[in-house]
Amino acid sequence: MKLHYGRMLTENLDGQHGLTRERMHALTSRFPSVHAEVKTRRNAGEYGFYALGQQENTVRWIRRFAEGVGQAYDHVVVLGIGGSSLGVKAVINALKAPAWNELDDEGRDFFPKITVLENVDPSSIQAALKRIDPRRALVNVISKSGGTTETLAQYLVVRAWLDAALGADVAVRHLVFTTDPVSGPLRALAGREGIPCLEVPPDVGGRFSVLSPVGLFPAALIGVDIDALLSGARHAIARAEQADLLQNPAALYAGLLWTADTSLGARIHFVMPYSDRLRDFADWYRQLWAESLAKRLDRRGEPVFAGPTPVGSIGATDQHSQVQLFMEGPYDKVISFIRLEDPGPDIMIPTRPNLPPELSFLPGHSLGELLRVEQQATAAALARMGRMHCTLELPDLTTETFGELIMFYQLAAGFAGVWYGVDPFDQPGVELGKKLIYAAMGRPGYPAEAASPEAPTA
Amino acid sequence: MKLHYGRMLTENLDGQHGLTRERMHALTSRFPSVHAEVKTRRNAGEYGFYALGQQENTVRWIRRFAEGVGQAYDHVVVLGIGGSSLGVKAVINALKAPAWNELDDEGRDFFPKITVLENVDPSSIQAALKRIDPRRALVNVISKSGGTTETLAQYLVVRAWLDAALGADVAVRHLVFTTDPVSGPLRALAGREGIPCLEVPPDVGGRFSVLSPVGLFPAALIGVDIDALLSGARHAIARAEQADLLQNPAALYAGLLWTADTSLGARIHFVMPYSDRLRDFADWYRQLWAESLAKRLDRRGEPVFAGPTPVGSIGATDQHSQVQLFMEGPYDKVISFIRLEDPGPDIMIPTRPNLPPELSFLPGHSLGELLRVEQQATAAALARMGRMHCTLELPDLTTETFGELIMFYQLAAGFAGVWYGVDPFDQPGVELGKKLIYAAMGRPGYPAEAASPEAPTA
């Protein structure tokens, strides 16, 4: 994987916008202390996700399950939300054929279909339970804390559906929980009923957990080579040990976005892969970047209200949706393109007799070539308008390079925490909302609270 | 549909952030001139989308096709991008059962499956052409100009696929084009081969065209009541004629977002429906808002670099992804929640023996209730932190209310153009990228141009 960052720099833009040599120098000068802080915090146990490269026992257990008992099921149903669903969806989208569930058994190489239920919207749950056959469904309930309201509500509904079809004793054989090794309601339920449990390492937060059993187990069930995924992740980690910032792409990427945000006001961070297969990856990135960096207080407890807004877009599609904004809107963005050198099996654009002259340049090119040209042309146009952007280039999209991409972004979020001076592993801002939900739902110990008016109304 | 905007106001937030009474007064005072300008421009033909409420002949033709010949096909394939795909996807997502293509014929009431191909990513196209049977597919090629590069490249590939399976003469019967009434390459091709053509009204731009044949034709084929869709749209238009800003929700909404952006720096405009069925609607909104308002020059030709960044999120899911950012990040956002009073067929959360105490408050509530409570609690928490937001409340999500919602946003974009002082109907910023694409693809008349370096690379 390569990070092309020339168009973050004033000298390659319009000479006015972008990062000057002085700012780049400030980044490289500060990096030794940033790197040292990451190391110290890793030694103190804060950066648990670095250890996800090494999980021999977990991988062995998951593969044994997937290649054994797991083959009995033809539909995997994942119940989870946020860090327990976005990563799983990103893996499916990137590594399985498009519209996976629309393929027949042969088209799926006899691997199961998979449905991720991440919301409590009754319309989605109703429809899923109607179209899925419980007799051949494996339900994987994922909650790190074991007490996520939405996921537990889903569990109660889905469990009643399994019980009604199979009886409670058999239903247990259709369930696997992924949760904390010792504590929480899911762990308690599992112990009582003998439901198999996978462990989320306690020092790995939800948004950093896709390469833990949270993502590995569903991935293995649908035939993803989880060893290759982790091998890609290890590659990214190895590069992130580099002491020279300009040789350490994750640290450099984080530093570039941080300085663009805090010194130039570029606080909107688009990620725009030119690949339909990275659409859900972009959603996963949105959680990682938003929750890790948006913090009211810095590490010293001072109010900072930090937090770039991450946005996902897909090329070439969103050239027809967002590029007008990139070209002519405020100078408040950085666009990170993701480009594949090799888009996979390609399609030649065929010719036809009597083509109108406006189309006659198309035949003889391939769709993959057109996609690549569109990214390069869009980026070149942005450069002329003084719009900062960079490009992550993957040789291709394989299980291994996808593992590398995922870990690259996690490492970048870990470095960005230090550049921004905030704790990238907590999310204190969500607690108040949870309290108010409990109160409104009548959970004991949470008294009702008055809210300010929503009216006036038009 | 109701617009609750109380929590845009300082008095209902933390007393510090939000819009003061003075700012609200400035809005209502300016509105007569805004409304007058919209009227003048409508009379001059700029606001063509207002006429989409009245399309008797078009609706009749489409219904006759859908209820006649159209029934022969069991898969509709739409080729289009941007304004020619996002609206269609929004309609499918909102008005058809979730995972529509995964349902069997009976589950779909014998209406066809539908696949929207909007990118030139060969992996998506390859997979679609492999899983769809050309013998029963109807291909609807949509391009207002008739010359959209991506769509025409797709057409050449898909046409060869049809021809190979059916022969060129029969293939023609599997095609319908939606394009300009007289000009452009698609129109020329259609005329030459006798391919039926639907018209995009010349005064309706792509991002305002979902309620034209662009969206109506695919919608009708899969069983959407397009009369109801337009009836909802007419309802929104009627409300937008109100001269009192506080009785004119589309104009008020546009004004609130404009003043929050330009006077308080809230330049990130999230739309967050609490409904999985509005996920693609949020994507459609992103194009509408971004392309309509992001403009380098205002109406007088002065540089303004206007343009809020629109972002879509889904509740309750994205409480676990974006709410940390809303609560603790910079005060640079407005969140527009969309809430359904009635979420549709609901599901009670059942109980079980020996529930852990952390879960025992859930049974007896419904999923729909939980979803509504989560929206209200999240909004109340944001208010306490001084975070501006408003809520669009729909009684339910029906074909009619969805038509109203779509038109509401188009009207709001039309008003916002005037509040911002920009032309909401052009997109001059995308031209340079197109020129560079043509040059790189060797289109005659577009000489190759040098681009600034992408390197250095890490």
Residues of A in contact with B428 (CB under 8 A): 324, 328
Catalytic residues of B: 291, 320, 434
Q: Measure the CA–CA gap between A347 and B122, rounded to whole angstroms.
A: 6
Check B457 against A5: CB less than 8 A apart. yes
Longest dimension (CA), chain A: 76
What pLDDT, in 10s, does the model give residues B147-192? 999 999 999 999 999 999 999 999 999 999 999 999 999 999 999 9
CB-CB contact of A204 with A218 (8 Å): no
Residue to mutate among A309, A361, A435, A443, with most B CBs inside 10 A, is A309
Angle at the Cα of B113 (from B108 to B119), degrees rounded to 5?
A: 150
A364 to chain B: closest CA residue? B441
- CB count, 10 Å around CB of A341? 12
A17: Cα within 13 Å, side-chain hemisphere: 21
Residue to mutate among B126, B245, B347, with most A CBs inside 10 A, is B347
pLDDT of B186: 97
pLDDT tens digits for chain B (458 residues)? Answer: 999 999 999 999 999 999 999 999 999 999 999 999 999 999 999 999 999 999 999 999 999 999 999 999 999 999 999 999 999 999 999 999 999 999 999 999 999 999 999 999 999 999 999 999 999 999 999 999 999 999 999 999 999 999 999 999 999 999 999 999 999 999 999 999 999 999 999 999 999 999 999 999 999 999 999 999 999 999 999 999 999 999 999 999 999 999 999 999 999 999 999 999 999 999 999 999 999 999 999 999 999 999 999 999 999 999 999 999 999 999 999 999 999 999 999 999 999 998 998 899 999 999 999 999 999 999 999 999 999 999 999 999 999 999 999 999 999 999 999 999 999 999 999 999 999 999 999 999 999 999 999 999 99
pLDDT category, A180, cuts 50, 70, 90? very high
ipTM of the complex: 0.98
Burial class of residue A257 (count of CB atoms within 10 Å of its CB; 0-12, 13-18, 19+)? buried
- At residue B89, the 3 state secondary structure works out as helix
Question: What are A253's two structure tokens?
Answer: 């990427």
- Averaged confidence pLDDT in chain A: 97
CA separation, residue B131 to residues A246, B96, B127 (Å): 45, 21, 6
Question: What are B194's two structure tokens?
Answer: 């006798």
Q: CB within 8 A of A51, min separation 6: which ones?
A: A201, A203, A204
Domains and CATH numbers, chain A: 2-42+230-351+358-426 (3.40.50.10490), 49-225 (3.40.50.10490)
Is A320 annotated as catalytic?
Answer: yes
Classify residue A370 by its DSSP letter. H
Of the candidates B4, B122, B188, which has its C-beta nearest A346's C-beta? B122
Q: Measure the CA–CA gap between B159 and B137, rounded to whole angstroms.
A: 12
Check A7 against B454: CB less than 8 A apart. yes
Angle at the Cα of B121 (from B116 to B125), degrees rounded to 5?
A: 50
Check B440 against A373: CB less than 8 A apart. yes
Conformational region of residue A307, where left means phi above 0, alpha means psi within -120 to 50, and beta covers everything else: left
CB-CB contact of A333 with A269 (8 Å): yes
Minimal Cα–Cα distance from B271 to chain A, Å? 13
Residues of A in contact with B458 (CB under 8 A): 2-3, 5, 246-249, 252
Q: Please name the residue that has the structure tokens 């992996």.
A: B123
What pLDDT, in 10s, does the model give residues A33-77? 999 999 999 999 999 999 999 999 999 999 999 999 999 999 999
* Closest of A31, A412, A12, A40 to residue A246, by C-alpha: A31
